Amino acid sequence: MPERATSSEKTREALIRAGLRLFGEKGFDGTSTREIAAAAGTNIASIAYHFRGKEGLQLACAEFITTAMGGVAYHAMGNLAGNPELSSREEARALLVKGVEMIVQFIAGRPEAAEIVQFVLRELMHPSPALDHIYSGLFEPVHVRLCQLWAAATGEPADSDEVKLTVFSLIGQVVYFRIAEAAIMRRMGWSETGSDQTRDIARTVIANLNAILDARMRSAR
């Protein structure tokens, strides 16, 4: 692991970043290797050299996403793999709210996230071998962790269908604001999706989360 990036590594990373952006924007089939090479400031042959071809680059992009997002998810929700121990329901609920808030900030707020979210969504809609990496490296661990937090906050079993589906519905809300951004901006009369808009979205999603949690707590009595 050299500290200074070699020329080879720079080209490799530039190709991944270009692939991520273009695959996310226009899809795998909609993007030509010529475009990717041009965006990365290199030549077409380097894609075959570094990744064995266009599909190899797609896979490398998926690996990049799981690595990069793992760090974000860790910050948002604590250890993904272990320690489901939480001292109190209140603490778990606070962590859940904070986690969802950070997910909104990332998915709906950060412009760089658009390409990542779109890349993942395209994989979900039209699975390729790259989806396996994303599922086991990102999708499942994040979902499991959110279910743990939900269970700790409500007392419901973390592996019940009810909890799992509710957590999916939470994620779905957030993701939709990024997918349908074009239409939502038009309907809301927004000219951009800046920090004001992200705040409004976060407020809506958190209000929903609290409403659903409260309803569950009441019905559990």
Partner DNA sequence: GTCTATAAACAGATAGAC
Partner DNA sequence: GTCTATCTGTTTATAGAC
Footprint of a copy of itself (CB under 8 A): 25-30, 118, 121-122, 124-127, 131, 135, 139-140, 143, 161-162, 164-166, 168-169, 171-177, 179-184, 186-188, 200-201, 204-205, 207-208, 210-212, 214-216
Instruction: Tell me which of a copy of itself, DNA, none is bound by residue 74, counting a contact when its beta carbon lies within the kind-specific cut-off of 5 to 8 angstroms.
Output: none
Instruction: Tell me which of DNA, a copy of itself, none is bound by residue 63, counting a contact when its beta carbon lies within the kind-specific cut-off of 5 to 8 angstroms.
Output: none
In this structure, what DSSP letter does residue 85 have? -
Rounded Cα gap, residues 126 and 204, in angstroms: 30
Residue 137 burial (10 A CB sphere; 0-12, 13-18, 19+)? middle
Check residue 154 for interaction with DNA (CB under 7 A).
Answer: no
Among 1, 6, 83, 219, binds DNA (CB under 7 A): 6
Tell me the Ramachandran region of residue 5: left when phi exceeds 0, alpha when psi lies from -120 to 50, beta otherwise. Answer: beta
The kind and range of the H/E element at 91 are helix 89-104
Query: With CB under 7 A as the contact rule, which of the stretches 50-58, 60-68, 123-131, 164-172 interacts with DNA?
Result: 50-58
